[in-house]
Structure 1
Amino acid sequence: MDKVPALDGKNIGFLGVGAMGSGMCLNLLKKGAKVGFLESKAAKNTELIEAGAVTYSSIAELAGNSTEVILCLPSSVEVMELCLGDIGVVAHIGTGNIIIDTTSSFPAETLKLHEVCKQAGVRLVDAPLTRNPEDARVGRLNCVVGASDEDFAAVKPIFDAYCENVVHAGEVSAGHRIKVLNNALSLSCAAVVSEVCAVARASGADLEKLLELAVLGGANSPQFVGMMRYHLDGDKKALGFGIALAAKDLNYFNIMAEEAGLTTRLSPHTGAYLNDARDSGFGAKTLPALIDFVEPGLKT
């Protein structure tokens, strides 16, 4: 007897079928889920339709036909816009059903949404992601989850469809808190690497030899290697994370620190650095392009 696909019978609505979301949807479909997304006159996602996804004309229709709705959006702003109000997801998804927010959202906003969901009898799970769109397509993302034990068990098979590693961090908003902290670590590394590379190039040092040495010690990380491979090999897929999104995430970290009553010293500089890059026309570029932003500014 053939094995029943892990998500057979699931009706999942998906909001945010961009580079990351499309790959996630393809893996959900492969695991047997019925997946639906919003029609778009601007861009028709024929790949998903050919793979078996259905389209809906409104959020109300999408949410009303889904037992889970997954959000993969730019920020908390878009999450709240699509979830709240008379035409939002919360109003139409149905009592007992689940909203899964994979966006890198701000934890305080997640708690506000959680309160709205509770009043409506809707369950909220936060499950932000790490890694990149290529990993999404091959089902090798990481996610960190904020949910009750019961809700985590209910949605774990969904995460297994597109993730290699799943970490249950605690109750609702715990996933978003850990994601903000993780991004502060990785984005600060990217900022430092961009300055080091700029100084290396200006001083005539061999970047290949720097990479050869650094991977043997404590400076090694996927972030460092990705930055270096972009500049040494022209690998345009390395660290496919936009600078505008990076600036947003560092700003989230700085606000989170302030709300905890802390005055940080290093992260405001990294945040300002990313904000400057975004405002200088680098927002749509990926993190390795930081070196091209910073190098002219270092010249005296």
Structure 2
Amino acid sequence: MAERQRVGFIGVGLMGHGMAKNILEAGHKLTVLGHRNRKPVDDLVKRGATEASDVGEMALASDVIFLCLPGSPQVEASVADIIAAKGDVRFIIDTSTSNPVSTRMLAERCAKAGITMVDAPLSRTPKEAWEGTLDVMAGASEEVLAEVRPLLEAFAGKIVRVGECGAGHTMKLLNNFVSMGYGAIYAEALAIGAKNGIDAATFESVISGGRMDCGFFQTFFKYVVGGDRDAHKFALRNAHKDMRYVVSLANESGIASHVSSSIKNGYATAEAIGRGDDYVPMIADVIAELNGIRPSKA
């Protein structure tokens, strides 16, 4: 792939803003789509990006289009608009956390239109998106990945090919299954502890630095113990969406989903009671409140 590309970017939200900024700083011509939050769009335009009025206009101005959207319904709508525009788009790179069943279907549709679909979901946070050090789980052939890798390297510090198209989103869901599972376990453990004389600070002091410590644990407890609401900026409604996709994939695969369904139901409850815009560590507050425990911060 030539050094300078015409790149479109749909979804310049918490993650997409930093990613698009780094693509622009790598020297590529960038077109962005208007977003309900004008701040990142205006910032990118000031940095040299062009704003498209709709997906069709972007498709006519781009060789590669990145998607960083809330989920598969939005991805499906955007891909349909890109195909309908009949522009020069060669690659669609979906960095969203999408349903692999949908991704594989879209890849077939794109192939018929002469477009190659790549799933390249992300790990880490908006901070790393801005710094250009995200982790990418790529679903593509080795040849295709080699071609788009320079663009991914604009915002990623680690790129792992996990298989063909669809495998990236599968791996991302497995990754989120594990992390959201930890969140659900921490929340329930804290509730049990609170009822039996173990407060959150004590729990954190025992686990921290031991074999069960990890980066997710640290950001989770920066909120639970430290009160930092922005320590892990991933909404509970997104956690619920991802776990719905995990359960759907398990069902599609004929796998009994005892654990994933239970975890999904915890996040479903949080969204159902109006806490969907809270961040993942706040699941600890939800579980505490449902059990008659008043959360306290150190």
TM-score bracket, normalised by the shorter chain, equals over 0.9
Structure 1 partner of 2:274: 281
Give 1:299 deviation, angstroms.
3.5
Structure 1 partner of 2:218: 225
Counting only pairs closer than 5 Å after superposition, residues 1-300 of structure 1 correspond to structure 2 as: 8-40=3-35, 43=38, 45-84=41-80, 88-92=81-85, 94=87, 97-299=90-292
User: What amino acid is the match of 1:216?
Assistant: G
Sequence identity (%): 33
Q: Distance in 1 between matches of 2:2 and 2:109?
A: 28
Q: Distance in 1 between matches of 2:36 and 2:11?
A: 14
SS in 1 for 2:229: coil
SS in 1 for 2:9: strand
Give 1:93 deviation, angstroms.
5.7
Alpha carbons 2:70, 2:238 under 8 Å: kept: yes
User: What amino acid is the match of 1:292?
Assistant: D
Q: Distance in 1 between matches of 2:282 and 2:156?
A: 27
Deviations 1:171-230 (A, max 9, x none): 110101111111101101011111222333444424334223213333212221111111
Structure 2 partner of 1:3: none
Q: Distance in 2 between matches of 1:18 and 1:229?
A: 23
Residues 29/247 of structure 1: CA separation in 2 closer, same or farther (3 Å cut)? same
Residues 299/206 of structure 1: CA separation in 2 closer, same or farther (3 Å cut)? closer
Deviations 1:256-299 (A, max 9, x none): 11111111221111111110101111111100111111112224
Corresponding pairs, count: 292
Give 1:233 deviation, angstroms.
1.6
User: What amino acid is the match of 1:282?
Assistant: R
Q: Distance in 1 between matches of 2:229 and 2:77?
A: 33
List gaps (5 residues or longer) in structure 1. 1-5
TM-score, normalised relative to structure 1: 0.92
List gaps (5 residues or longer) in structure 2. 294-298
User: What amino acid is the match of 2:5?
Assistant: K
Q: Distance in 2 between matches of 1:41 and 1:223?
A: 29
TM-score, normalised relative to structure 2: 0.93
User: What amino acid is the match of 2:79?
Assistant: C
Deviations 1:120-151 (A, max 9, x none): 11111000111111111111211100011111
SS in 2 for 1:282: coil
Cα RMSD of the aligned pairs, angstroms, is 1.9
Residues 124/196 of structure 1: CA separation in 2 closer, same or farther (3 Å cut)? same
